[in-house]
Amino acid sequence: MTTLPNLLQHNYREVPDKTSIILQHAGQDDKPLTYRDLIRGANRYALTYSREGIQPGEVVILILQHGEDLVYSFWGAILHGAIPAIMPFLTEKLAPEKYRADLASLISITKPTTIVTYPEFEAEVRGALTEGDSVRHVILTNQIEAESEPNFETLQGFKSSPEDIVVLQHSSGTTGLQKGVALSHRAVLNQMDAYGKAIKLDPASDVIVSWLPLYHDMGFIACFLMPVLLRIPLVDMSPFDWVRAPYRLHQAVSQYKGTLTWLPNFAYNFCAHKIRERNIEGVDLSTWRAIINCSEPVHVESHDLFFEKFSAYGLKKSALQTCYAMAENVFAVTQSPLDGTPAVDEIDRETFMTQRLATPPKPDSPTLKMTSSGHPIPNTNIRIVDESFNDLPNRHVGEIAVQSDCMLTEYFNRPDATEAAIKYGWYLTGDYGYIADGELYVSGRKKDLIIVGGKNVYPQDLESLASEVNGVHAGRTVAFGIYDEEEGTEEVVIIAEAESTSPSEQEAIADAIRKHITKSSAIALRHVKVVDDKWIIKTSSGKTARSANKEKFLNFSFR
Amino acid sequence: MTTDIITPLATFIAEKILKQPGKAIAADEALISSGLIDSFSLMDLALFIEDTFGVRIEDTELNAETFDNLEQLAALISSRK
């Protein structure tokens, strides 16, 4: 078994002039990077890490925006044998003090020795550091060694073994940043091998087009590591540019004959609702062979909207595909077969709700349409289990458990979390689902997690933020998500009990919560409801019962 | 003159973006840097401006450096009419 540095070197030796990544920035010319550019740029960073005395196996946090520095600093860490982790960049609406707190919480668990950032961001980063923490180096992008031919004899990354941890992936918020998913070379390479087969990846004809951020597994694995290592050209635009002009994705697919894209469910709705004809006049989408819906619950209606809008531009119906993935399995767990459209299973709603069984529709009864996430990829097994870890029969809803040769090594420096998540060698996903005809249908979540626009949000983080607002009863807040059909994603609801019963004061508190949460988490709240004392339902042990409160909120219908 | 621009903008933002019809937005209240308008809604605002005032705001201009409150946005729109 090889390692990431070996594979990168191999690509450099065999196809130095092949384009690996085309970086796009709105308002600038596209910037193609060949494997030679990639390895020489990465070598500059590897030499810098070496100059600073950074040891292989140390964690390097990259706080950089979409662009060349992010690409080079990442691969430089790989060549040096350090463990890179990409942290989201501060957005303009997030309060700097909250960003510093997030960074400090990541540092406290992950214990990086090094942070790489821009000179203009140095003060922000230093503000998060404390006396005695693990960070010894803040490397700025203007302090990088000059370009030179890499010396593969001295680069430390070539001493790595396949079992060594090669990267960390975090999800967002205080809770997510304290759980770094640690992946070995072996896990990453096994995932690529298996997933490449599942999607019939072909370096001769495939082109991946992506706007996804690299701090999330879908962007990081499918649209960064995989294309670079497997020699699939990648057209990569900034998520900031895409959200302001989603048609750039379609233009890039047309211009570069893109074949593969991964999107979270909301993006199908977003593109269908917001792209205007005049921005995509003349584009040809016929090369797009798979647009894979992943990272939030899949809704077949979103595929239909997308297809209706773009079929006139050559989009094939068979391009709309699904996948179930998680960082703990590196990325994909299942994939829909790419030669048709994903199966849709219409089931009886009541039996599903009351007996957790997916049964055929009854005449004149309401139904649910479930979209298949496809079959497990070749190296991955799944089971559906009950609470005692017994296998459940087909069409019974239970927790999805995963086992493969590409699982996480551990949650970095978190033996408690690792032990809680892995049972008898199986990773318990916290997602509910059932199997029918060998395909997986994901139906819900055991864990209280909200997924907004593909981003995982832990409700406990939002609840503690809401509790900080003046006039809110501390600890008397609840956060949950409700699905919005128009947007194709979950919207966040916050309910908070106030000391005051005056409607105008409650309105003011709601405004303050909205502002505080937006500044502190970069999550836009749709519904904030301030209520009187004793509205919120608690369990007998005093914990907030999120699903019971969600039901109460929906029944009150004060939306 | 600018009220002719500010009023429909404020109504649109309160009703369609914030989904809080009747919410008053001050002409100098920060819109983007405060997170009041999240990035997913910036494009809606640009499309509304185009349809209502016949003025194009490029996607590269949809940030707090170009405009961050209703006054600045109204001035930008007037200058392009």
Please answer whether residues A327 and A217 qualify as being in contact, where contact means their C-beta atoms are separated by less than 8 angstroms: yes
Instruction: Give A43-77 pLDDT, tens digit per residue.
Output: 999 999 999 999 999 999 999 999 999 999 999 99
Residues of chain A numbered 73-92 and touching chain B (CB < 8 Å): 91-92
pLDDT of residue A120: 94
ipTM above 0.95, yes or no: no
- Residues A233, A25, A270: CA angle, nearest 5 degrees: 85
pLDDT at A110 over 60: yes
A284 touches chain B (CB under 8 A): no
Cα distance from N-terminal residue to C-terminal residue, chain B: 13
Distance CA A536, CA A549 (A): 6
B64 touches chain A (CB under 8 A): yes
Of A241, A244, A482, which to mutate for an interface test with B (greatest number of B Cβ within 10 Å)? Answer: A244
Instruction: Give A346-359 pLDDT, tens digit per residue.
Output: 999 999 988 999 99
Banded model confidence at residue B38, pLDDT cuts 50, 70, 90? confident
Q: In Å, how far is A504's CA from the nearest CA of chain B?
A: 13
* CATH node for A1-16+29-179: 3.40.50.980
- Residues A427, A428, A431: CA angle, nearest 5 degrees: 135
For chain B, which residues make up each domain, given as ranges? 3-80
Q: Which two tokens stand for residue B12?
A: 């649109």
B35 touches chain A (CB under 8 A): yes
Instruction: Give A441-498 pLDDT, tens digit per residue.
Output: 999 888 788 888 777 888 888 888 898 899 998 888 999 998 888 888 888 999 999 9
Distance CA B67, CA B72 (A): 5
Burial tier of A401 (Cβ tally within 10 Å: 0-12, 13-18, 19+) = buried
pLDDT at A554 over 90: no
pLDDT of residue A236: 98
For chain A, which residues make up each domain, given as ranges? 1-16+29-179, 343-445, 450-556
CA-wise closest residue to A406 among A335, A333, A324, A334 = A333
Distance CA B16, CA B46 (A): 13
Report, as an integer, the average pLDDT of A374-397. 97
Residue of A91, A246, A526 with shortest CB distance to B19? A526
Distance CA B10, CA B33 (A): 17
Instruction: Give A518-533 pLDDT, tens digit per residue.
Output: 887 777 787 888 988 8
Query: Residue A453: its chain B contacts at CB < 8 A?
Result: 40
pLDDT at A307 over 50: yes
pLDDT of residue A559: 43
Please answer whether residues A524 and A491 qualify as being in contact, where contact means their C-beta atoms are separated by less than 8 angstroms: no
Residue of B19, B35, B62 with shortest CB distance to A93? B35
Instruction: Give A138-184 pLDDT, tens digit per residue.
Output: 999 999 999 999 999 999 999 999 999 999 998 777 778 889 999 99
The DSSP call for residue A478 is E
Q: Which CATH superfamily is domain A343-445 in?
A: Luciferase; Domain 3 (2.30.38.10)
CB contact under 8 A, B42 and A244: yes
Beta strands in A176-325 (DSSP E): 181-184, 208-210, 234-237, 260-263, 290-293, 320-325
Residue of A92, A241, A276 with shortest CB distance to B33? A92
Distance CA A202, CA A200 (A): 6
| CATH classification number, A450-556, choose in 3.30.300.30, 2.60.40.420, 3.30.70.20, 3.40.50.620 | 3.30.300.30
Give the whole-number percent of chain A exceeding pLDDT 70: 99
pLDDT of residue A118: 96
pLDDT of residue A497: 92
- Strand bridging mode A290-293 / A320-325: parallel
The domain at B3-80 falls in which architecture? Orthogonal Bundle (1.10)
CB contacts < 8 A, A to B, total 52
Q: Mean pLDDT, chain A, as a whole number?
A: 93
B22 touches chain A (CB under 8 A): no
Banded model confidence at residue A92, pLDDT cuts 50, 70, 90? low
Please name the residue that has the structure tokens 């199997």: A435
Query: Residue B46: its chain A contacts at CB < 8 A?
Result: 244
Of B43, B49, B62, B63, which to mutate for an interface test with A (greatest number of A Cβ within 10 Å)? Answer: B43
Q: Amino acid identity of A521?
A: S
